[in-house]
Amino acid sequence: MTQIELRGVQKWFGAVQVIKDLNLTIADNEFIVLLGQSGCGKTTTLRAIAGLETIDEGDILIDGKKVQHLKCSDRDIAMVFQSFSLYPHMTVYENIAFPLRATRMAKADIDKAVREVAQVLRITDLLDRRPSALSGGDMQRVAIGRALVRRPKAMLMDEPIGALDAKLREEMRAEIKRLHVKQGSTTIYVTHDQIEAMSLADRIVIMHEGVLQQVGTPEEVYQRPTNLFVAQFVGSPVMNVADTTIRETGGEVAVAVGGTERGFPFPRELLSKLNGHAASDGIALGVRPEGVLVRLEPADGFLPVEAQLIEPLGSFDIVDLKVGKEVLRARTKSGFISGTGEKVFARIDPAQAHFFDKASGRSLGVSL
């Protein structure tokens, strides 16, 4: 049982505040991913939990006990670094045994524990090698082994696979997931890669400029982003965001994008859900490419648009559609639109549309 809690954590580097009033509760066995751009404070948060960084205000609690004044060696937490940080002058075996040697464990027990972990990570045949003789993936396995061997209260991982190439990254991602399912320990994982975050996390914590933006399951942050930053940070390709005006003519509600005369038809309940915001023009429409529906023939509710650019991505195409002055990116079957410049018809799926207050960036919480 390991529960980690951050209460009102604040951290300054000189005049720059890198963590701003962070509150977060991490449940036992949970896999939490801290996601954000570089410099958003996610790594500092992780290092503060590990004890490598002091905090200026607030509390860090592990199992209900305040630990912010404890040295890292007293927090019983393991960490995997992006640079792997395997000790170059020790063999793989010694590297994995290193944390156990700090505990004055009996030699035979250390040996047993090291071999067990090596077996789980499939690195038994590498135990006598030096880190310099290992591939990137194996280095990371050893680093994870070194963290696991002590059976720590929690595992912290700082972009552990960021330094690997794309294919290996995918492989290790699956392996980390498999390990977590098997070993089940509270894990905090830092990354700037939203695909890693989506595929690994039980819950994602999105940070921006030291401020927590949203905490939620991968589905929640993808489908119900709380603000423009989250909406545009999570998901690839990026969500379309466009200035919009909402008009009501003759009982029909239309959402116009890019200053066009005709708007995309939306159900009437949009107005009531927007709750008065419709009148102002400080509203931005957000829609993911899969929420932009495309047809080759005219149909009810579809507006004529022009395909400006087609990016074939194998299993699907991303098409830039010119709508008035704006460009909306749509996701189509591959080869659906034959060439650029073609006139096609598009509409926005109201169920996949998001509305944001432009001034604050906050989602207006409309779901249709």
Partner 1 sequence: MAAVQTSGERALNKIAIVAVLIITIIFLAPIYWIVSTSFKPRNLATTIPPTVVFTPEISPFVKLMTKRSQLREQPTPEEYAAAPWWERMVFDGGEKVVRDGRGDVQWSAYPSRFLNSLIVAVTSTVLAVGMGTFTAYGFSRFKVKGEGDLLFFILSTRMLPPVVVAIPMFLMYRMVGLTDTHVGLIILYTAFNLSFSVWLMKGFIDEIPKEYEEAALVDGYTRMQAFFKIVLPEAATGIAATAVFCFITAWNEYAFALMMTNRRAQTAPPFIPSQVGSGLPDWTVIAAGTFLFLLPVAFFTFLLRNHLLRGMSFGAIRK
Residue type, 57: E
Residue 109, classed as helix, strand or coil, is helix
79: Cα within 13 Å, side-chain hemisphere: 20
Question: β-pairing, 353-357 with 316-323?
Answer: unpaired
Instruction: Select 153 or 288, whichever has its Cβ closest to partner 1.
Output: 153
Q: Which stretch binds partner 1 (CB under 8 A): 1-9, 66-74, 245-253, 315-323?
A: 66-74
Q: Which stretch binds partner 1 (CB under 8 A): 24-32, 67-75, 204-212, 231-239?
A: 67-75
The two tokens of residue 116 are 């067990």
Q: Report the nearest approach of partner 1 to the CB of residue 87 (Å).
A: 6
∠ CA 206-209-214, nearest 5°, is 25
What is the C-alpha to C-alpha distance for residues 171 and 132, in angstroms, rounded to an integer? 21
Q: Give the single-character DSSP code of 234.
A: S
Instruction: Report 124-183 residues binding partner 1 (CB under 8 A).
Output: 146, 150, 156
Instruction: Select 102 or 351, whichever has its Cβ closest to partner 1.
Output: 102
Identify the CA nearest to 292 among candidates 258, 327, 342.
327
Instruction: Select 90 or 271, whichever has its Cβ closest to partner 1.
Output: 90
Instruction: Select 56 or 171, whichever has its Cβ closest to partner 1.
Output: 56
Specify whether the CB–CB gap between 212 and 23 falls below 8 A: yes
116, burial (CB in 10 Å: exposed 0-12, middle 13-18, buried 19+): middle
Specify the length of the chain in residues: 368
Instruction: Select 51 or 216, whichever has its Cβ closest to partner 1.
Output: 51
Specify whether the CB–CB gap between 111 and 160 falls below 8 A: no
For partner 1, what does the binding mask look like between residues 72 and 91, x meaning CB under 8 A? xx--xxxx-x-x-x-xxx--
Instruction: Report 97-116 residues binding partner 1 (CB under 8 A).
Output: 98-99, 102-103
Q: Report the nearest approach of partner 1 to the CB of residue 295 (Å).
A: 54
Identify the CA nearest to 201 among candidates 226, 218, 182, 224.
218
316 strand-pairing partners: 333
- Of the residues 22, 50, 253, 293, which one makes contact with partner 1 according to CB under 8 A: 50
Instruction: Select 150 or 192, whichever has its Cβ closest to partner 1.
Output: 150
Instruction: Select 51 or 210, whichever has its Cβ closest to partner 1.
Output: 51
Q: Does 12 bind partner 1 (CB under 8 A)?
A: no
Q: Report the nearest approach of partner 1 to the CB of residue 90 (Å).
A: 8
Specify whether the CB–CB gap between 364 and 227 falls below 8 A: no
Instruction: Report 289-318 residues binding partner 1 (CB under 8 A).
Output: none
Ramachandran sector of residue 200 (left: φ over 0; alpha: ψ -120 to 50; beta: rest): alpha
Q: Report the nearest approach of partner 1 to the CB of residue 224 (Å).
A: 36
Q: Report the nearest approach of partner 1 to the CB of residue 143 (Å).
A: 8
Instruction: Give the torsion through C-alpha atoms of 133, 138, 140, 143, to 10 deg.
Output: -70
Q: Report the nearest approach of partner 1 to the CB of residue 133 (Å).
A: 17
Q: How many residues bind partner 1 (CB under 8 A)?
A: 23
Instruction: Report 214-253 residues binding partner 1 (CB under 8 A).
Output: none
Residues found near partner 1 in the complex (CB under 8 A): 50-52, 71-73, 76-79, 81, 83, 85, 87-89, 98-99, 102-103, 146, 150, 156
